[in-house]
Amino acid sequence: MQDDDRFHFYEPALGHGLPHDPFNAIVGPRPIGWISSHDAQGVLNLAPYSFFNGFNYTPPIVGFASITAKDSLRNIRETGEFGWNLATRPLAEPMNQSCAAVPPEVDEFALAGLTPAPSRRIAVPRVTESPVSFECRLTQIVQLQAADGRAIETWLVLGEVVGVHIARALLREGIYDTAAAQPILRGGGPADYFEIRHDNLFKMFRPR
């Protein structure tokens, strides 16, 4: 097979040869896993994860990947619970502040000027300022591995959503209005984010 000059090809194990790794930009924009947790002593933690998504409808299951064993992973292992909070355009700066590399004893809620709100089904608080939050109970922690079976220092944390908080203003005739929440998504490069807006909406129904 001849090389096609229209495409830049690389093998990730050998390097991409570009100014910035394009993988995150290609697999994007991605929902942000803004994860609240606390340790066994109740010390709060709040951190955004760019590898996050929903994985199942019934029961609803969400998950995020912790690249290296970060505080969120350790806390969730200890307590079996975590929260997910929607990161929005008005909350972009506080969300960014909460990803600062600080010691485990530092409360990122306080660091980012955010208010913890009591959850109803779990002990972990949610972000008061966020218009949507999930209360989650741990279902699995899976350490990822490479194609050759080698263990990778990344853990996929999966949790069942046992409680959902939605600001009533986002329910239009009972239907959740995605764009009205102004969710932000992680793009590529060192600092790229995107915002969902109504003018980007198009509809396409499944074939019958």
Tell which residue, 182, 185, 133, 186, has the closest CA to residue 159. Answer: 133
Q: What is the mean pLDDT of the chain?
A: 95
* Selected residue with higher pLDDT from 49 and 28: 49
* Selected residue with higher pLDDT from 23 and 115: 115
Count of other CB atoms within 10 angstroms of residue 198: 9
For residue range 97-154, list pLDDT tens digits in order.
999 999 999 999 999 999 999 999 999 999 999 999 999 999 999 999 999 999 999 9
- Residue-level pLDDT at 190: 84
- Residue-level pLDDT at 169: 97
Is the pTM higher than 0.85? Answer: yes
For residue range 182-207, list pLDDT tens digits in order.
999 999 888 999 999 999 999 999 99
Indicate the CATH number for domain 24-198. Answer: 2.30.110.10
Share of the chain above pLDDT 90, in %: 90
For residue range 155-186, list pLDDT tens digits in order.
999 999 999 999 999 999 999 999 999 999 99
The one-letter code for the residue type at 76 is I
* Selected residue with higher pLDDT from 134 and 24: 134
Token pair for 91: 């909350």
Measured CA to CA in angstroms, residue 112 lies from 67, 83, 92, 115 at distances of 22, 17, 11, 9
Question: Residues in the chain, how many?
Answer: 208
